[in-house]
């Protein structure tokens, strides 16, 4: 039987996974074709890059189902992954010299396998580099180095970075004396389900296979190559293509992390996982087992068997759907979302009431138990009265491209390609069509941001009053601030828009400081203004919109922000007819987002009548 690196990672989630995968005897006795492996690896890379896009898509926090999008559109995102691998290969050659083997196609890459107990463990390597002294194995990931840059440890009062760069490579530091702070950061790297550790675990599985293949005959080094979150593209092109030389601060777009020591430490965990894997494969026990962080609930890497293992958990108002829930504490024991399910607490109502101490959780529980809606009319009225008119309802659509496309952008910068604006001159005075303005780029390779900024400052004039309103306004304000830096000639007008920004969630959910300033006491300033069971703990616009209006996204071609960015990414590959259809779909979607805010405000006013 052939076990790929991806198989290894999935089959070791829990002992039930291989059985639910329905591994038949003929599969146990068969080998994997190159084509099957290629498809498997590309699917994992696609998940990885889409995970990063969703991670940086702060628009509304809504869970997104991309299965509705056709493979052609989703696979277009793979072009960016392949470009990252090419950039990484160039950086490897400059750093290590020697000879490198890499390819856009997995089956052209260097491969390794290791036979043990009738199982062939196998992996392909993104970049295989060999010079006169060493073999260098480089795993390329579409993530950025931000998570590693932010890891620091302390000795006494002094702070040190966990990784330090030397000769174009980041190396793991070693403390000069024992440090609990350092040990905790190392544990983050050893958490295969954590943001910092999951990529290292992936590399460590490769090391398990490759080290056993060579059986210590050669010196092998293991590296991660990732995008540099600090790299700023200067807009330089050659022959119509972007050129990613060092930026003005000396940053390369790709950075390399040496992971020899940490992947070596990982081997004892890999060996333990291998033993569990073999036991699970040959026993194929599909009886229920405890759920855990290996399920990766609500992540892009969520286990595909969640519907089976969480079959008793309701899709709405699950026990872990308490607002901003982390854990409950009872008798000195903390219960996270997995603990709740393992202990049989499946719905909001199953959680013992005495465990609930947070006031918003208590409001949510009362609404659930008594099937009622919570409304604090005084706060909603005060919040509505604090808005100044005209209200400029604004929503940006952005493409956090892995590789910066335009001047001033970094990897995964939220690059604006569309906005919708509804202008509400007085309370309730706004026409869906006549008072709406939409800017939408015509190309995903041509920089049209300045045209967008010109239209934005022309339509939004808050110099004599009024405010810009958005759902999760920090997102819109972040984009406006970035644009003011890239286009300083518009900084004055953009800064005025930025400073006028208000959040629709202040009126529906809460803003403690706002309501304190409006004279409300500590309790009322800290609790929500509105809650309905239908929200299931969420205040995303998709959850709140149906509560105040009959508007829906279900009949739209584009239904969420991630679908929008995937659609935009295809612009330059579309026929004129396809492009026209796509632009119309994006226009309707973005227009719906700002009209939804107008309708929600109208619904909130109606609550007060």
Domain ranges of the chain: 2-283, 377-607
Does residue 224 surpass a pLDDT of 90? Answer: yes
Residues 436-494: tens digit of each pLDDT: 999 999 999 999 999 999 999 999 999 999 999 999 999 999 999 999 999 999 999 99
- Residue 68 confidence (pLDDT): 43
CB-based burial, 415-435: b 16+ in 10 Å, e otherwise: bbbbbbbbbbeeeeebeeeeb
% of residues, the chain, pLDDT over 70: 93
595 and 504 Cβ atoms separated by less than 8 Å:
no
528 and 506 Cβ atoms separated by less than 8 Å:
no
- Measured between alpha carbons, how far is 403 from 90 in angstroms, rounded to an integer? 15
SS3 2: strand
Kindly report the CATH number that applies to the domain delimited by 377-607.
3.30.420
Cis (ω within 30 of 0) for the bond into 556?
A: no
- Residue 69 confidence (pLDDT): 47
- Measured between alpha carbons, how far is 550 from 86 in angstroms, rounded to an integer? 48
- Looking at residues 368-386, what average pLDDT do you find? 97
239: left (phi over 0), alpha (psi -120 to 50) or beta: left
- Measured between alpha carbons, how far is 491 from 588 in angstroms, rounded to an integer? 29
**Closest by Cα among 509, 472, 258 to 379:** 509
Does residue 70 surpass a pLDDT of 80? Answer: no
SS3 418: strand
505 and 539 Cβ atoms separated by less than 8 Å:
yes
Does residue 86 surpass a pLDDT of 80? Answer: yes
- Looking at residues 148-175, what average pLDDT do you find? 95
Residues 279-324: tens digit of each pLDDT: 999 899 999 999 999 999 988 789 999 999 999 999 999 999 999 9
- Looking at residues 161-167, what average pLDDT do you find? 94
Does residue 93 surpass a pLDDT of 70? Answer: yes
- Residue 218 confidence (pLDDT): 77
Q: Give the CA radius of gyration of the chain.
A: 26
**Closest by Cα among 248, 224, 258 to 140:** 224
Element (H, E) at 398: strand 391-400
Give 40's pLDDT tier (boundaries 50, 70, 90). Answer: confident
Global pTM value:
0.91
């Amino acid at each position: 039987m052939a076990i790929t690196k991806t198989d290894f990672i999935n089959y070791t989630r829990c002992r039930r996974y291989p059985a639910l995968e329905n591994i038949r005897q003929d599969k146990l006795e068969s080998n994997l074709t190159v084509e099957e492996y290629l498809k498997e690896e590309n699917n994992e890379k696609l998940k990885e890059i889409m995970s990063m896009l969703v991670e940086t898509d702060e628009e509304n926090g809504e869970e997104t189902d991309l299965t509705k999008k056709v493979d052609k559109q989703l696979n277009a995102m793979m072009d960016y992954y392949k470009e990252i691998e090419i950039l990484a290969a160039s950086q490897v050659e400059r750093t290590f010299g020697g000879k490198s083997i890499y390819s856009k196609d997995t089956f052209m890459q260097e491969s390794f396998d290791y036979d043990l107990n009738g199982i062939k463990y196998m992996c392909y390597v993104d970049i295989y580099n060999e010079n006169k002294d060493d073999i260098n194995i480089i795993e390329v990931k579409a993530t950025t180095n931000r998570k590693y840059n932010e890891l620091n440890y302390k000795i006494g009062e002094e702070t040190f970075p966990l990784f330090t760069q030397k000769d174009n490579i980041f190396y793991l530091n070693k403390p000069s004396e024992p440090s609990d702070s350092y040990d905790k950061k190392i544990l983050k790297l050893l958490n295969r389900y954590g943001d910092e550790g999951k990529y290292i675990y992936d590399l460590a599985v490769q090391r398990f296979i490759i080290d056993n293949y060579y059986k210590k005959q050669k010196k092998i080094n293991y590296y991660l190559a990732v995008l540099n979150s600090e790299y700023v593209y200067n807009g330089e092109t050659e022959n119509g293509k972007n050129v990613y030389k060092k930026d003005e601060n000396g940053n390369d777009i790709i950075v390399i992390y040496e992971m020899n020591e940490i992947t070596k430490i990982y081997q004892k965990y890999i060996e333990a996982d291998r033993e569990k894997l073999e036991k699970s494969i040959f026993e194929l026990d599909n009886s229920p087992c405890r759920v855990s962080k290996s399920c990766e609930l609500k992540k892009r890497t969520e286990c595909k068997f969640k519907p089976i293992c969480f079959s008793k958990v309701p899709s709405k108002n699950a026990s872990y759907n308490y607002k901003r829930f982390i854990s409950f504490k009872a008798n000195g024991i903390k219960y996270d979302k997995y603990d709740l399910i393992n202990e049989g607490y499946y719905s909001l109502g199953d959680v013992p009431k005495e465990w609930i101490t947070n006031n918003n959780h208590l409001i949510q529980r009362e609404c659930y138990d008594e099937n009622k809606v919570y409304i604090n009319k005084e706060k909603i009225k005060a919040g509505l009265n604090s808005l100044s008119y005209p209200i400029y309802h604004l929503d940006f659509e952005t493409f956090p491209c892995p590789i910066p496309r335009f001047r001033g952008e970094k990897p995964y910068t939220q690059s604006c390609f569309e906005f919708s604006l509804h202008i509400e001159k007085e309370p309730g005075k706004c026409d869906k069509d006549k008072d709406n303005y939409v800017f939408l780029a015509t190309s995903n390779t041509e920089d049209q941001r300045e045209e967008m900024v010109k239209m934005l400052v022309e339509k939004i004039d808050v110099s004599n009053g009024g405010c810009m309103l958005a759902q999760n306004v920090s997102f819109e304000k972040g984009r406006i601030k970035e644009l003011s830096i890239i286009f300083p000639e518009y900084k004055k007008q953009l800064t005025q828009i930025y400073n006028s920004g208000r959040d629709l969630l202040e009126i529906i959910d809460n803003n403690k400081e706002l309501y304190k300033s409006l004279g409300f006491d500590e309790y009322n300033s800290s609790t929500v203004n509105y809650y309905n069971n239908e929200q299931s703990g969420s205040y995303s616009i998709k959850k709140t919109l149906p509560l105040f209006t009959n508007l829906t996204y279900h009949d739209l071609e584009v239904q969420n922000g991630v679908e929008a960015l995937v659609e935009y990414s295809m612009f330059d590959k579309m026929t004129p007819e396809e492009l026209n259809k796509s632009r119309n779909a994006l226009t309707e979607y973005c227009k719906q987002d700002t009209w939804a805010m107008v309708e929600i405000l109208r619904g909130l006013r109606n609550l007060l009548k």
